[in-house]
Amino acid sequence: MLPFVPVAVEIDNLVVRYGEKTAVDGLALTVAAGTVTAVLGPNGAGKTTTVETCEGFRRPDSGSVRVLGLDPLADHDELMPRIGVMLQEGGAWSGVRAVEMLRYVATLHAHPLDVPALVERLDLGSCGRTPYRRLSGGQKQRLSFALAIVGRPELAFLDEPTTGLDPHGRREIWQLIRDLRDDGVTVVLTTHAMDEAEQLSDQVHVVSAGKVIASGTPDSLTEHHTKSLEDVFLELTAPKRETR
């Protein structure tokens, strides 16, 4: 008998439309608890819409979504304290100081991470008194990551967490993601960085045109490293050419 593996996210036949446009078209996937799962796909594939539906920010047209056993819409107030969310577009008020915002979010949780230690690790000390709107792109990115994890979530949704970071900042985020997994946190990672997915993920789902078109471990998808994950991704998502 196979061992029971608890599921943190379960999506079945999800459909989300924007007017006449179908952004997510019958998508199904599961995320095992305590793992890092990467969701890859070209722009417009439906990745962000799927994640926003899991977070309770989008209403599905049909299908079902369960996150930590809860309905993200019906159980939104119960779910939100248990998850961390890193949005593509900021996530902080424009006039608030960086560390002030982080301290405030920490007070909303029963057992937050140590804020000074997180500030030091993410190199936010030098911009601690700077308003959010004046932060550089990399500083905003690091702050958004800190805001997503400071509450010790059971599940963290990280949308393009290393975009715009220098190599040192990128590697520090990678190590923090590994630390989250070691602490039993489930991580759902959307990224365009193939090396990031290959280095960090236990499971990868490739999404195209609103559907999952391939799933597996990085090792299985790359045929035990005989191909790169980028090669596999490009093969799977290449536009189909019409035959004459």
Binned at pLDDT 50, 70 and 90, residue 1 comes out as very low
Inter-residue contact 212 to 219 (CB < 8 Å): no
How many folded domains does the chain comprise? 1
Does any domain span residue 150?
yes
Is the pLDDT score of 106 beyond 90?
Answer: yes
In the predicted model, what is the mean pLDDT of the chain? 92
CATH code of the domain covering residue 60 = 3.40.50.300
Within-domain flag for 242: no
CA 225 to chain centroid: 24
**Per the domain annotation, does 112 fall within a domain?**
yes
Does some domain include residue 1? no
Range name among 28-37, 100-109, 176-185, 217-226 with the lowest pLDDT average: 217-226
| pTM, full prediction | 0.92
Residue 243 lies in a domain: no
Q: What is the pLDDT of residues 60-78, one digit of tens each?
A: 999 999 999 999 999 999 9
Between 49-53, 90-94, 208-212, the lowest mean confidence (pLDDT) is in: 90-94
Q: Which residue has tokens 């299908």? A: 63
- Asked whether residue 232 is assigned to any structural domain, the reply reads yes
> What pLDDT score does 87 carry?
77
How far is C-alpha 26 from the chain's CA centre? 20
Percent of the chain exceeding pLDDT 90 equals 79
**Pick from 224, 105, 122: which is nearest to 169 by CA?**
122
Residue 223 lies in a domain: yes
Residue 81's alpha-carbon distances to 42, 46, 77, 129, in angstroms, are 31, 25, 8, 26
Average pLDDT (1-6) is: 62
Does residue 14 surpass a pLDDT of 50? yes
* Model confidence band, residue 3 (pLDDT cutoffs 50, 70, 90): low
- The better pLDDT of the pair 220, 89 is held by 220
Lowest mean pLDDT, pick from 21-25, 173-177, 234-238: 234-238
Domain membership of residue 143 as a residue range: 7-237
Summarised one tens digit per residue, pLDDT across range 109-154 is 999 999 999 999 999 988 878 888 899 989 999 999 999 999 999 9
> Terminal CA-to-CA distance of the chain, rounded, Å?
51
Q: Residue 91 pLDDT more than 80?
A: no
The model's pLDDT over 231-241, given as tens digits with 9 standing for 90+, comes to: 999 999 987 76
SS (H, E, C) the chain: CCCCCCEEEEEEEEEEEECCEEEEEEEEEEEECCCEEEEECCCCCCHHHHHHHHCCCCCCCEEEEEECCECCCCCHHHHHHHEEEECCCCCCCCCCEHHHHHHHHHHCCCCCCCHHHHHHHCCCHHHCCCEHHHCCHHHHHHHHHHHHHCCCCCEEEEECCCCCCCHHHHHHHHHHHHHHHHCCCEEEEECCCHHHHHHHCCEEEEEECCEEEEEECHHHHCCCCCCCHHHHHHHHHCCCCCCC
